[in-house]
Amino acid sequence: MSKRGNFFKWGLLILGIVIACGLWGMGDNEKPLLAQTISELPTNTGGELKKALQSSKPVLVDFGSNKCIPCRQLRPILKEVAREFSGKAHVLIIDVFEHQALAREYRIHLIPTLIFFDGKGKETFRRAGVWDKTSIANKMKEAGAI
C-alpha cells in the first residue's frame, strides 16, 4: 500500500478515536453526548420571562434552540452563570421554535442571542453567538446583579 493510503487510514482512525472520546466524555462521569435527549434540556416559557422581568432583578435570556449546536454549547456556561448569580438575577432559556411569538417580539434573527435586562425590565445589551462566562458575568454585573 502507498504512503498516501496509509496516511489516509491512520488519519481516519485518529479522527474516529477523537470523535468517540469527545462523545463519550473520556471518563468524566457525564452521560454520553449521544445519550442526551432534547427532553433533558428544559426551556422557559413566556410567562416565566414576564415574571422574571417584573421581579426587580436583572435578567439574562438566551433565545436559542435545543436543535442548535452553538446554543447547546452555551448551556453549561449559562448554568454556571445562573449558579453564580443565584438570588441576584434570573437566567432563562427560551426555545425560539417552541415560542415563535416571543422570538418575533424580541426581534431574534440569529441564535443563540443573549439579551440582558436591568432590574426595571429594560433591555441593556444583546449579543448573538456563543460568549464566554467571564464576559457574560461582567454584563450581568453591569445590569445590576451584584
Residue 93 and residue 44 in contact, taking contact as beta carbons nearer than 8 Å:
yes
Is 21 an active-site residue? no
Distances in Å between the Cα of 3 and the Cα atoms of 9, 10, 15, 56, 75 are: 10, 11, 18, 66, 43
Q: Quick one: cell of 131?
A: 460568549
d(CA 73, CA 132): 11
Q: Considering 41, 68, 82, 128, which one is annotated as catalytic?
A: 68
Q: Which amino acid appears at position 60 of this protein? A: L
d(CA 54, CA 131): 26
Q: Considering 71, 78, 96, 111, which one is annotated as catalytic?
A: 71
Is 71 an active-site residue? yes
Q: Catalytic residue numbers?
A: 68, 71
